[in-house]
Amino acid sequence: MKVVVADYEFPNLDPDREALKILPDLELIDAKCTNEEELISACADTDGLLNQYNYITEKVIRSMKKCKVIATYGIGVDKIDVKAATECGIYVCNSPEYNEYEVCDHTVMMVLALSRQLVQLDRAIRAGKYGALKLKNRLYRPYGQIIGFIGFGRIARQIAKKLKIFGIEAVCYDPYLTDEECKAAGATKMEMEQVLACADYVSINVSLTEDTRHLVGENELKRMKPTAYLVNCGRGAIVDETALIKVLKEHRIAGAALDTFEREPIMPDHPLLSLDNVITTPHSAWYTWESMYSMQYVAARQVALVLQGEKPEHCINYDAVQKLSN
């Protein structure tokens, strides 16, 4: 039995080996793939595939003659052609719970940093501008402000709970939840336009799909208050970056805090990095030593379960594959 690790940036594959050790005589291949051709060559006879950054296209999927499962390191499966995988009877798995504390804390940190303009104050003092009154934007106390969530899943609910300690109330847009479910989790459900119009901070908390790509564009950004901030620790492509740059330059919104970008890594000459009303982190909201271990272990465990003939714990197309196979 053979499992290919297409690519990874972790220090080692020890967590993967720990999860996969239940499979006897397993060959674990560190393929270090960087493109479609390398993937096709490395994965032709693999039984399972683990992937971090490569795009697992239809061409790659149909070239794999034995593969039963593809697992991604992380939550999003936007780099995998799920439709093609399903048609080929391949389970697509992820590790959805590995970073819920980390992304929550990172988002809270960004909201508070924006609220106190922490990064801007640091930049000012390094430039010889001493004193809070030299800031371009006014500071407002968090108490009584509103955070608006686009998507109100597990992580967003944690964020709302933690920010309530600072007196920040929550509203949300989530078409998959009822008013009662949102209220029970600590937020008032609204339409997206209402969330954008009333929030002091708009937090992106939806997965990237074809339906959510550029969900927040120029029209949506212009609905935000001029004193409001956008926070994105989700996927970069949910926000139209060109539109975001435009409204930031025009000071139609107060600023943004971004952990993700449409193209990663973001280049040093990117227009976003020249704006003084933007703070950035390098897609690091997920990261702690504990979350990294969990990400690897859980993704590899899904592969192990499928190859053992058992039901995976985290599979986004399980029912569809089962239906095809019956």
The CA distance from 229 to 107, in Å, is 12
CA distance readout (Å), 317 to 63, 219, 282: 20, 34, 30
Q: Judge whether 310 counts as a catalytic residue.
A: no
Q: Is 314 a catalytic residue?
A: no
Burial of 261 (C-beta count, 10 Å sphere; 0-12/13-18/19+): buried
CA angle 219, 224, 225 (to 5 degrees): 140
The SS3 call for residue 83 is helix
Q: Which of 191, 264, 290, 310 is catalytic?
A: 264
Concerning whether 264 is annotated as a catalytic residue, the answer is: yes
Please identify which of the residues 235, 241, 262, 301 carries the catalytic annotation: 235
* Residue from 17, 116, 283, 313 carrying the catalytic annotation: 283
Q: How far is CA 303 from CA 54, 66, 102, 261, 296, in A?
A: 18, 13, 25, 29, 11
CB-CB contact of 237 with 211 (8 Å)? no
Q: Cite the active site residues.
A: 235, 264, 283
